[in-house]
């Protein structure tokens, strides 16, 4: 009989349901009264705030500033960019009326708008309209702006954090004098995302370019970071788009160049969203809940006072406060250790399991016996739940930064080893189809992962693979795993191997 776990079903039994149960058990979010929309609860929002703060600092360090643009986009703005609109048309929410009236006791829409307004699915067109007013000379460039916002894309199959009708994100939008500057910006911001994923989220990601069919609508090139999660599927964790002059021409972003001639700006856009939270859960979570990397955990160490008797409660809480103060005086990666005391009048075991499910990196229990012995019981989230280390209080305080460092490194090493073990170089069409077919002899319990295979660049081949296996090209890697070769599907020449996978 397998050991009882906090989450049921386990990952190997039903991964999608495991994920939903983890989100609920960790108290991260819940479905709202509006289908497809979620309520992000305090622990989940604290995690997003932490990600937001780190990324915001990284954006500002590269010269970007924050601004805010309207939620509503006039339909006429979208109509100026045909390719862009087509890519989002089926997901758009549209406002057509501006007031409600009571008719026969019921509220009904009244006051039709002169022009329908689209609730932003992304902001290239409305921001482009603003940039067209701001830019008249090359001296006005570059414009380097980011906004933190919510967007709406009507989602038919919602899943908390991964796909919801409304979600939170940041979207950077820049305008440049030259093509080279815009290309450099596109590459730079993908590098920011890759660094954040690896160094903060402890997720090893592949970087590369999307194929034409997977490209952002209206973009010239789309660059991406792709993560593998524990059911061997890929998640597109962030994108950076070189838009060329397409949006500038549609919006009329023109400037007088150094040669006195009128020219259109070169633009980019780039973004990550609350999907990162779902990626984090799926990459590191276990059958007891979330496992958070210390660098993004809202609380890195949780002090759990054990107060079985009323007469010892005051002394234990005082000791917990003293312990927390010592922990907060420690530094991890240049910041004070983030500490929380769970002083609720609840059983210690119950509190400990709640923090296990929430993924707090370190739990420190202190009770009456610990006061007498001058010790604490320390547990790490990257180790089994029942594993504890009993330390002198001063020693526990001093070791916290090193333990947090070990956990951060351990999570990245685990995720990297898993990804590498589930990545295969594929040499034939037969091998490719077997790799992604359930219940094959080699992998009866699961199928797929990352497949590195030669492809001739044909959209028809790409579409056929997607139709047959629900497998897509995740990226054309920047660091090729091979030179030129032969497409495994057609026998035609191939420039390099690309990454295929099933995905969210």
CB 341 within 8 A of CB 326: no
Q: Which residues contact 405 (CB under 8 A, 6 or more apart)?
A: 294, 332, 333
How far is 288 from 463, CA to CA, in rounded Å? 39
List, in sequence order, the alpha helices (H) in 389-446: 393-421, 429-435
How far is 469 from 451, CA to CA, in rounded Å? 13
For residues 255-283, b (16+ Cβ closer than 10 Å) or e, as one string? beeeeeeebbbbbbbbbbbbbbbbbbbbb
275: left (phi over 0), alpha (psi -120 to 50) or beta: alpha
Instruction: Give CA 341 to chain center in angstroms.
Output: 28
Spell out the domains of the chain, with CATH numbers in brackets: 47-87+118-284 (3.30.930.10), 301-403 (3.40.50.800), 423-501 (3.30.110.30)
CB 489 within 8 A of CB 465: yes
List, in sequence order, the alpha helices (H) in 62-178: 75-79, 82-88, 124-134
DSSP state, 178?
S
Q: Which residues contact 349 (CB under 8 A, 6 or more apart)?
A: none
pLDDT per residue as tens, the chain (504 positions)? 357 899 999 999 999 999 999 999 999 999 999 989 999 999 999 999 999 999 999 999 999 999 999 999 999 998 888 778 788 888 999 999 999 999 999 999 999 999 999 999 999 999 999 999 999 999 999 999 999 999 999 988 899 999 999 999 999 999 999 999 999 999 999 999 999 999 999 999 999 999 999 999 999 999 999 999 999 999 999 999 999 999 999 999 999 999 999 999 999 999 999 999 999 999 999 999 999 999 999 999 999 999 999 999 999 999 999 999 999 999 999 999 999 999 999 999 999 999 999 999 999 999 999 999 999 999 999 999 999 999 999 999 999 999 999 999 999 999 999 999 999 999 999 999 999 998 654 554 557 899 999 999 999 999 999 999 999 999 999 987 878 999 999 999 999 999 999 999
Q: pTM for this structure?
A: 0.96
CB 333 within 8 A of CB 295: yes
How far is 422 from 428, CA to CA, in rounded Å? 18
């Amino acid at each position: 009989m397998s050991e009882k776990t906090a989450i049921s079903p386990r990952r190997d039994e039903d991964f999608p349901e495991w994920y939903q149960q983890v989100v609920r058990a960790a108290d991260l979010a819940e479905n709202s009264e509006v289908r497809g929309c979620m309520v992000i609860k305090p622990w989940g929002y604290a995690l997003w705030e932490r990600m937001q703060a780190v990324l915001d600092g990284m954006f500002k360090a590269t010269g970007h500033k924050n601004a805010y643009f309207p939620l509503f986009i006039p339909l006429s703005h979208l109509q100026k960019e045909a390719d862009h609109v087509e890519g989002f048309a089926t997901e758009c929410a549209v406002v057509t009326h501006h007031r409600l009236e009571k008719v026969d006791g019921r509220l009904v829409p009244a006051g039709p708008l002169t022009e329908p307004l689209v609730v932003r699915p992304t902001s290239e067109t409305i921001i482009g309209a603003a940039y067209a007013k701001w830019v008249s000379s090359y001296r006005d460039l570059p414009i380097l702006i980011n906004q933190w916002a919510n967007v709406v894309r009507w989602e038919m199959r919602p899943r908390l954090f991964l796909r919801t009708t409304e979600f939170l994100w940041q979207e950077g939008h820049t305008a440049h004098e030259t093509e080279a500057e815009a290309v450099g910006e596109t590459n730079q911001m993908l590098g920011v995302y890759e660094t954040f994923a690896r160094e903060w989220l402890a997720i090893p990601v592949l970087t590369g370019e999307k194929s034409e069919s997977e490209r952002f609508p209206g973009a010239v090139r789309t660059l991406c970071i792709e993560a593998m999660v524990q059911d061997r599927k890929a998640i597109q964790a962030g994108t950076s788009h070189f838009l060329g002059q397409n949006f500038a021409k549609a919006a009329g972003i023109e400037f007088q160049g150094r040669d006195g001639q009128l020219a259109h700006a070169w633009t980019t856009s780039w973004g990550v969203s609350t999907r990162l939270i779902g990626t984090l859960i799926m990459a590191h979570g276990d059958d007891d809940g979330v496992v958070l990397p210390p660098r993004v955990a809202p609380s890195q160490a949780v002090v759990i006072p054990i107060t079985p008797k009323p007469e010892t409660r005051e002394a234990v809480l005082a000791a917990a406060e003293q312990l927390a103060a010592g922990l907060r005086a420690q530094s991890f990666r240049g910041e004070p250790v983030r500490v929380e005391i769970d002083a609720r009048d609840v059983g210690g075991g119950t509190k400990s399991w709640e923090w296990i499910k929430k993924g707090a990196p370190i739990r420190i229990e202190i009770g009456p016996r610990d006061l007498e012995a001058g010790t604490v019981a320390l547990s790490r989230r990257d180790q089994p739940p029942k594993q504890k280390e009993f330390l002198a209080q001063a020693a526990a305080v001093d070791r916290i930064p090193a333990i947090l460092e070990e956990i951060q490194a351990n999570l990245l090493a685990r995720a990297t080893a898993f990804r590498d073990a589930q990545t295969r170089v594929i040499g034939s069409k037969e091998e490719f189809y077997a790799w992604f077919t359930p219940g094959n002899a080699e992998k009866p319990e699961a199928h797929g992962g990352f497949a590195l295979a030669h492809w001739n660049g044909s959209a028809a081949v790409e579409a056929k693979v997607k139709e047959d296996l629900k497998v897509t090209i995740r990226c054309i890697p920047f660091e090729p795993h091979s030179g030129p070769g032969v497409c495994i599907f057609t026998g035609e020449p191939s420039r390099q191997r690309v990454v295929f996978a099933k995905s969210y």
